[in-house]
Amino acid sequence: MDNSITFIDTIIRMLYKALGQTGIHISQLSLGTMTVLKGGSPSDKLKLYDAARDSGINYFDTSDNYENGESEKFLGAFLRGKDRTKLYIGTKCFFPKPEYPSGGLSCENILETVDRSLQRMGTDYIDIFYCHRYDRNTPVQETITAIQSLIDTGKVRHWGISAFSTAQLCEMYYTAREMKCSLPTVGQYPYNLFNRTIEMELKEALQTLDLGVIGYYPLAQGVLTGKYSTPGDGESRASDPGLKKQMWDLTDYKLTKVSEYLKLCTRLGVSPSALALRWCLHNDRVSSTLSNVNNFNQLQENLKFISVDLDPQIAGEIEAIFQNAPANPYTGQKY
């Protein structure tokens, strides 16, 4: 990372949204740490995340399996010396890891995972604990009981789910209600101009259960920024052969759509990243968009979403480019 880059002189006032029933008002732009140790030294990344905090970003997301736990350690270094009450941290449990290779949402795995996460991050509590995926091998009652014990002891304040289907979400929610336990109040789902799954039947469940939504992959793994539309991968996940294999959004079809999208952005004089983020936030169920940044320039480009006005005409032009508004397969009516 180029240390000569200076952040914006004036702190941007971040806009906040309520996150479901948590009582948390979360910044509409939040930062993840899935690949935080790639594309720069830890000290440079700490400066970058400090700048993000100074710009008004107050939610930072991680998982016990990101970078084999090193991402949580990074957040621990980031939190050190800061007012913890002004920052919200989310972490997750499900995927296998060396100390618990079977993974899942068993009581044992959840309790051990949270204790290890708290130790790595050097904090007394987790603001939002997520079931990273649905566990078909563990009764939901066992999972809920484990989470409730963490809430009762103050180690976890709120809990949620990530990438659950409508049926899985409802099963977890209504089982918790029947058990008279704390209810899930937050959901993480992929959401971007290519992936609009949450606008389908899931949307009704999210509204009925009043879950706040944090949308991840809002830039479709960086494809919507336009950086893959020109030769060279640059400073990105695609420059890492291992990560590039996981880039399902990097297809010829999507790059063709992005080329049309970039022309619209150029005509409007807006940042492709900023417009894509604003489009996601136009969905009233989405409280925040979760993304990764590798440098100050990417952070600045993303922060420009604040000044983007997504009026009906621009929204219509975007729809004309992507032509993927979800529709009921039986009636043809758009959701």
Please identify every residue annotated as catalytic.
66
Report the candidate in 87, 99, 95 with the shortest Cα–Cα distance to residue 128. 87
For the CA atoms of the chain, what is the radius of gyration? 20
Cβ atoms of residues 176 and 183 within 8 Å:
yes
Residues in the chain: 335
Rounded CA-CA distance 251/263 in Å is 19
Report the candidate in 224, 220, 225, 290 with the shortest Cα–Cα distance to residue 248. 220
Distance (Å) of CA 138 to CA 63, 71, 74, 135, 151: 20, 27, 31, 6, 20
Rounded CA-CA distance 224/260 in Å is 11
Report the candidate in 214, 205, 208 with the shortest Cα–Cα distance to residue 283. 214
Q: How far is CA 253 from the centre of its chain?
A: 24
